[in-house]
Amino acid sequence: MTLTSDSPASITTARGLSVAIGGGGGLSGGSAALGWSASSLSNGETITITTDGTNNFGSKVKAQPVVWDMGAEFLNEGEALTGHATASDGDSINSSGIFSGATGQITLSRPHRHQRIDRHYLGAANTKAFIGYDSLLDASTASRKHYSCFRIRLPIDPRLVRTIPITESSGAFDQGASGELGESLTVTISGTEYGGNLIAIFDGKMALSVEGVSITSGTGLIGVTGLESGATATLNSGQTGYAGAPPAKLYRINQGASDGVLSVLQLGIEQFWIESNASGVDEIGMQRFDNGPDFTAVALPGEWFFVEMTQDWSDGSALTGTARLIGSQGQAIMSIPAQNGAANWDDLPVLLLGIGLDSSVDHKLNVEFGEVVIDETAQRVAIGNNSNYDLCTQIEVQRVKTWGASKITAEAYQGAFDSLSGKHLFVFDESNNVIGSGVQL
């Protein structure tokens, strides 16, 4: 599903869940048996996961991972930062004392990605907008194995959009009393020829994606060209919460881009950046080595990407691991080959590293982060929308409370799922392997 809605469906009431993982297959195989006390699982309920006595979940460095959106402590080389452990929405975390040589800030800010998180993060500055690496876990732990995941949303660069005049409109996005989506809105475009993609902005928020734009001439949805004066476009909201009025602005995105790519998140090994290039594509990238591996996923401006990284310095020098990137328009997974990852960064926390704007960007852009989970091991509990974890297009990491060799307890986290019914629960060992197999809820 597209992760843009701030108003997901209400959560159904349920009583809890008990999952038994067994089958004698060890950590690399086997089967999972399901026994539970209710027909559905509610957000905030306790999940109890046990073994059959053959499999073993092992020990865990810390039972509970760091979850920033749940009000967790902010850490600097493993120690809590005074005055920031109980930061509230709207508080500004100044760069001094938190960021290593950084010139930005993080502000805890609304609106959230959806109603089930306590807060999310908005980075904003003239040339930098990032979470600094010294504010996270220290990498020089005994295991030197780390896991992190987070959501990130790119800005709409004002240099890459043009307002399209609207001469007439009919219909409105009226949200009914029961919360159903409203009717379509038809607009007639005036002015000269327009190419590119259309997107509508309601009260400063993007309320539809390219898939929600239908051109009556049948020109197609991606990379629309020849959209001349007098053409009619029918806009479908795609989400609730925008009632009563036509869009405040109708934009053409990515002037000059012919492939329909609106936002690209490029994932490599060390550092994120944003670049607005000549073809009108916003790129966020992460790359540690000049010739290091990288890959991309695509989403629309205003949509959330999901980033997941598992990294390993267990031998003290070579960096290995996996990285995953999910956008609404596609996803990619890569293996991080052995590299000299710790030679020049002896104390390098590996989790959210220097996320910011490219130095060539000379104006203010905001980059938003949501649901940041940080741990010192790949051991975790997650719920996805496919029986094969690698094929999941939506993943919600669960809030582990206790972790023992034979039993794990977690607080169910529904995230942006409309329902957890039919989804699959996974338990991972410290080597990032699924223990047993995914259990369907």
pLDDT recorded at residue 424: 92
CA–CA distance, 48 with 402 (Å, rounded to integer): 10
Do both 333 and 227 map to the same domain?
no
Do both 45 and 76 map to the same domain?
no
By residue range, what is the domain housing residue 233?
163-253
- Report how many domains make up the chain: 3
- Asked if 221 and 210 touch (Cβ cutoff 8 Å), the reply is yes
CA–CA distance, 181 with 163 (Å, rounded to integer): 26
pLDDT recorded at residue 20: 53
Residue 12 lies in a domain: no
Do both 143 and 167 map to the same domain?
no
Among residues 258, 228, 255, 234, the alpha carbon closest in space to that of 246 is found at 234
* Domain boundary, last residue among 253, 272, 293: 253
* Domain boundary, last residue among 227, 253, 279: 253
pLDDT recorded at residue 337: 60
Residue 136 lies in a domain: yes
Do both 312 and 353 map to the same domain?
yes
Residue 234 lies in a domain: yes
Do both 152 and 268 map to the same domain?
yes
Do both 219 and 300 map to the same domain?
no
Residue 384 lies in a domain: no
Instruction: Count Cβ atoms below 10 Å from residue 109 Cβ, excluding itself.
Output: 19
- Asked if 397 and 34 touch (Cβ cutoff 8 Å), the reply is no
Do both 77 and 148 map to the same domain?
yes
* Domain boundary, last residue among 232, 253, 274: 253
Do both 269 and 369 map to the same domain?
yes
pLDDT recorded at residue 338: 60
Do both 264 and 361 map to the same domain?
yes
pTM listed for this prediction: 0.58
- What are the tens digits of pLDDT across the range 304-338? 778 887 777 666 556 677 777 776 656 667 666 66
pLDDT recorded at residue 39: 40
Do both 176 and 106 map to the same domain?
no
- What are the tens digits of pLDDT across the range 181-190? 333 444 444 4
pLDDT recorded at residue 23: 36
CA–CA distance, 429 with 441 (Å, rounded to integer): 20
Residue 39 lies in a domain: yes
pLDDT recorded at residue 330: 61
pLDDT recorded at residue 390: 87
Which residues of the chain, if any, have pLDDT below 70? 1-40, 52-55, 66, 68-144, 153-303, 313-319, 327-332, 334-369
How far, rounded to the nearest angstrom, does the alpha carbon of residue 323 sit from its chain's CA centroid?
Answer: 13
For 157, the 3-state DSSP assignment is coil
Residue 381 lies in a domain: no
Do both 265 and 359 map to the same domain?
yes
Residue 230 lies in a domain: yes
pLDDT recorded at residue 383: 95
221: left (phi over 0), alpha (psi -120 to 50) or beta: alpha
- Asked if 327 and 1 touch (Cβ cutoff 8 Å), the reply is no
Among residues 420, 416, 321, 309, the alpha carbon closest in space to that of 370 is found at 416
Residue 202 lies in a domain: yes
Do both 267 and 210 map to the same domain?
no
Total residue length of the chain: 441
pLDDT recorded at residue 437: 77
- Asked if 285 and 294 touch (Cβ cutoff 8 Å), the reply is yes
